[in-house]
């Protein structure tokens, strides 16, 4: 056998064993602790090793068991952050994407893959009430938000030959950290992000936004874009999209909705996202509330030409000899990425395997889980809800206990995993539901585990 | 069954069928045409469809056959662009990565995955003679180059609060299109990229670089970074790294080596990359010359703190309660990405399955393929080599035929796939070898197919 070649027999053996491990892992999820008992020293002992000259062959799969015991498993009792559940059909789709190994950068380079990605992006746009939007899949919400602001800048305040012109970006004080990161990266100036105060429900205050824009105009600054939260990461608050669209239209600003966490919920509760279809761009993470394996985000935009104007820098060696519009189509002309993974295949498989109704139902169920938890918290005098629950994130605390210590104890107990948030200066426990495996009894364990941890602390 | 749930039986059936399809596809690769006979109308007919309310279950795999017939297959006779071969063990690794569905963003979020990524990045650094470099995996060379220039800017000319300060980036006229794209995105100003003339061997001219820096300094501009080609995409030319490192040191500039295509060859021909370990940052694509499935790139850097200074914008909700340095480690503090796929698993599996010697041998073999093609071209009076062949890209032309027509005919014949390049203003045919499936007889078909196509045109 020549170097790197594998026989059919070897590959079948490897795949069979991998499939067995995958099946056993999925079946075991419910028994696994919600967080592994491990340490930096332990993971280094297991996995910090040199690359040896000789190959190990199929023995490489022997590492899987140790790996599985030192990961955060996607059980139905993991409620930290906004951690999707890695739907297994999507994982099989990811496998086949790597088998086909397409560079989904242009129709010419990957005819089927690019056609499928365009179809899937259309499904997502349609599902959230934004039929007609164009877009692309990308790695994560940070990348989607960065590209959106780059397009906004290029459209409204194109850099001159010498560099970026400062432009002011407005967002609520609860904006995701990817937005200041993008503003800095684009050279807009860290001081040119206005964090606009939010109201008692954690939604951007329209009066404060108007005052901020007005003040900037008077100082000769150039307002550029509004980033609206389509579900803040801490509490799920959705900024007033309709009013923001009105202001963006009146002021000539770009409206981007960062819906990485929340926007898929527009499939189930469209009334909470009224105005969404007036945005210029929208990001949503399929690896969050569409349950897909990481990574799979989506950036939607109304105007494909604006994206092209921002990202088109073609070299000769990708020149396309063709006149047919679908055959000359190239994602790389409207993206930061040139080589692009066939991310659409997992969506193509998982979304069709289950159907649109099942997705709507799963999202509705997550919304119900959050209400169930909120009700349980409000029924217990020792616990206090710290924020409204418009979507599926619930922030609360123990009224008398040390909540930081309670959180560490909850995680160490291993039944449920919660993360934390800062709510009006207070340390909050936080549970978020974006997991198709979660059952009502898992939700009920949150309260019982917090109470048990509080007793122990 | 609740929405989105799948029984163990259903999943085993789905995985079994997916594995069967994968095995059959890999086995069929050698018989497949090097480019599919299809059209935009045909792919739209097959794949442009709505998302239906009801699920299709396991029938979704029925689309795979049509997909496989409308993709560019990774046969050993595909020589276009820089298209890696999608090593099957890596594909199995990608499957298990999606099964575990880790967010490899911090040790806390993914203890095993982050430890494995740090180990694998160390293997790559060591393999190319850059032991001690830190780094991260990312989606592609465009992203790696963008992050490298962002770090350079933040280190040498940090944006003030109001925006980016212009800084000049120097690269050879043969620089990859991702670099002007990054310069524009970072707000450095499109006019602040100097395309320095190259010599007859397509290597950046040191005298011209020195003159350009000198001229900018005299005009009061601020030189910032040199981007060296570690294998230009057209001809594989490696810029004079040692001399560039000297200049960067003397002038206080950042030296980034864009080795997306070529740098893995440092495993086999380290002498061609002398000086590489003096760079500040290096990009290399494992989905190119390390044969991995898309996507898997790597950005290496000497100074982790510089990367942190650029990309650290943490929010409260990812606050880490810990003092242990390996347990507080977070890739998101030094990357554009926050959510990060467990890309390291395919490298972990594939690199260990085959061993380091086998990788070195496969790269050496690709280098030999290129020399074999160059020799065959030079032996035929009708063909002309258009550039030296330092690595594994070969640019040539038919002396009397219409080369553009010949290329289209070669692709239509379906035996081998070539792409094109512009060499000193001339249209060139181009073959690139980064495929572990390619055999000497496949290389020989390039010349026979070009000659046959020339006869037909």
**pLDDT 10s digits, B286-339:** 999 999 999 999 999 999 999 999 998 754 444 555 678 889 999 999 999 999
Identical fold, A102-354 and A356-456: no
Cβ contact B354:A3 at 8 Å: yes
Beta strands in B176-260, from DSSP E residues, in sequence order: 193-196, 223-229, 254-258
Q: Measured between CA atoms, how close is A123 to chain B, in angstroms?
A: 6
Q: Sorting pLDDT into bands at 50, 70 and 90, what band is A165?
A: confident
Beta-carbon separation of A47 and B18 below 8 A: no
pLDDT tens-digit readout, B245-291: 999 999 999 999 999 999 999 999 999 999 999 999 999 999 999 99
| C-alpha–C-alpha distance, residues A55 and B131, integer Å | 21
Task: Please give the DSSP secondary-structure letter assigned to residue A330.
Answer: B
> What local confidence, expressed as pLDDT, does residue A316 receive?
47
> What local confidence, expressed as pLDDT, does residue A232 receive?
98
Indicate if ipTM > 0.85. yes
pLDDT tens-digit readout, A403-450: 999 999 999 999 999 999 999 999 999 999 999 999 999 999 999 999
Cα–Cα distances (Å) from A43 to A38, A242, B104, B110, B326, in that order, read 7, 49, 14, 10, 9
| C-alpha–C-alpha distance, residues B318 and B321, integer Å | 10
| C-alpha–C-alpha distance, residues A145 and B327, integer Å | 28
Topology at the third CATH level for domain B356-456: 3.90.1150
> What local confidence, expressed as pLDDT, does residue A163 receive?
73
Task: Please give the DSSP secondary-structure letter assigned to residue B204.
Answer: B
Q: Work out the burial of residue A413: count CB atoms within 10 Å of its CB; fewer than 13 is exposed, 13-18 middle, 19 or more buried.
A: middle
Report whether pLDDT(A215) > 80.
Answer: yes
Q: What is the rounded average pLDDT for all residues in chain A?
A: 95
Beta-carbon separation of A98 and B68 below 8 A: no
> What local confidence, expressed as pLDDT, does residue B1 receive?
78
Q: Sorting pLDDT into bands at 50, 70 and 90, what band is A143?
A: very high
A154-163, A200-209, B315-324: the lowest-pLDDT one: B315-324
From chain B residues 330-389, the ones with a CB under 8 A of any chain A CB are 336-342, 346, 348-349, 351-359, 361-362, 365
| C-alpha–C-alpha distance, residues A385 and A375, integer Å | 9
Give the burial string for B112-123 (b: 16+ CB within 10 Å, else e).
bbbbbbbbbbbb
Which chain A residue is nearest to residue B149, measuring alpha carbons?
A185
Beta-carbon separation of B60 and A115 below 8 A: no
What's the sign of the alpha-carbon dihedral A187, A189, A192, A197?
positive
Q: What is the rounded average pLDDT for all residues in chain B?
A: 95
Domain-wise residue ranges, chain A: 102-354, 356-456
Q: Tokens 């007033």 correspond to what residue?
A: A240
Q: Which residue among A55, A90, A319 places its CB closest to the CB of B353?
A: A55
Report whether pLDDT(A313) > 80.
Answer: no
Q: Measured between CA atoms, how close is A405 to chain B, in angstroms?
A: 11
Chain B CB within 8 Å of residue A1 CB: no
| C-alpha–C-alpha distance, residues A370 and B26, integer Å | 46
- Which residue intervals of B84-140 are DSSP H helices? 88-100, 111-127
Closest CA to A151 of A20, A24, A23, A312: A312
- Please state which architecture CATH assigns to domain A102-354: 3-Layer(aba) Sandwich (3.40)
> What local confidence, expressed as pLDDT, does residue A324 receive?
80
């Amino acid at each position: 056998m020549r170097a790197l070649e594998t026989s059919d027999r070897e590959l079948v053996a490897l795949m069979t064993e991998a499939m067995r491990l995958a099946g056993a892992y999925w079946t075991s999820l419910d028994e696994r602790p919600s967080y592994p008992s491990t340490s930096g020293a332990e993971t280094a002992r297991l996995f910090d090793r040199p690359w040896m000259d000789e190959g190990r062959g199929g023995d490489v799969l022997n590492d899987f068991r140790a790996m599985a015991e030192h990961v955060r498993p996607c059980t139905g009792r993991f409620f930290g952050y906004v951690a999707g559940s890695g739907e297994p059909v999507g994982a099989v789709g990811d496998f086949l994407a790597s088998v086909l190994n397409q560079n989904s950068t242009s129709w010419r380079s990957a005819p089927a893959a690019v056609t499928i990605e365009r179809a899937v992006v259309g499904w997502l746009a349609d599902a959230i009430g934004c039929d007609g939007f164009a877009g692309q899949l990308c790695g994560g919400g940070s990348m989607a938000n960065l590209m959106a602001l780059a397009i906004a800048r290029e459209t409204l305040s194109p850099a001159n030959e010498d560099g970026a012109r400062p432009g002011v970006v407005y967002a609520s004080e609860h904006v995701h950290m990817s937005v200041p990161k993008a503003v800095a990266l684009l050279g807009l100036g860290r001081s040119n992000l206005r964090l606009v105060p939010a109201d008692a429900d954690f939604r951007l205050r329209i009066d404060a936004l108007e005052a901020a824009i007005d003040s900037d105009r008077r100082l000769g600054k150039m307002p550029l874009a509004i980033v609206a939260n389509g579900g803040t990461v801490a509490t799920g608050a959705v900024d007033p999209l309709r009013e923001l669209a009105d202001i963006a239209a009146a002021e000539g600003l770009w409206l981007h909705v960062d819906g990485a966490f929340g926007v898929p919920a527009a499939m189930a509760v469209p009334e909470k996202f009224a105005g969404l279809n007036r945005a210029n761009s929208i990001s949503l993470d399929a690896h969050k509330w569409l349950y897909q394996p990481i990574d799979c985000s989506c950036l939607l935009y109304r105007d494909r030409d604006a994206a092209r104007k921002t990202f088109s820098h073609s070299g000769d060696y990708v020149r396309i000899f063709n006149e047919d519009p679908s055959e000359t189509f190239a994602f790389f002309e409207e993206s930061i990425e040139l080589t692009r993974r066939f991310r659409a295949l997992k969506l193509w498989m998982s979304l069709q395997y289950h159907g649109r109704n099942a997705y709507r139902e799963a999202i509705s169920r997550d919304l119900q889980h959050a209400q169930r938890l909120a009700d349980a918290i409000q029924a217990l005098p020792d616990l206090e809800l710290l924020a409204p629950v418009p979507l599926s994130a619930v922030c609360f605390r123990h009224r008398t206990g040390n909540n930081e210590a309670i959180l560490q104890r909850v995680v160490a107990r291993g039944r449920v995993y919660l993360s934390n948030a800062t709510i009006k200066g207070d340390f909050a426990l936080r549970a978020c539901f974006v997991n198709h495996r979660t059952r009502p009894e898992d939700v009920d364990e949150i309260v019982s585990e917090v109470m048990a941890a509080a007793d122990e602390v």
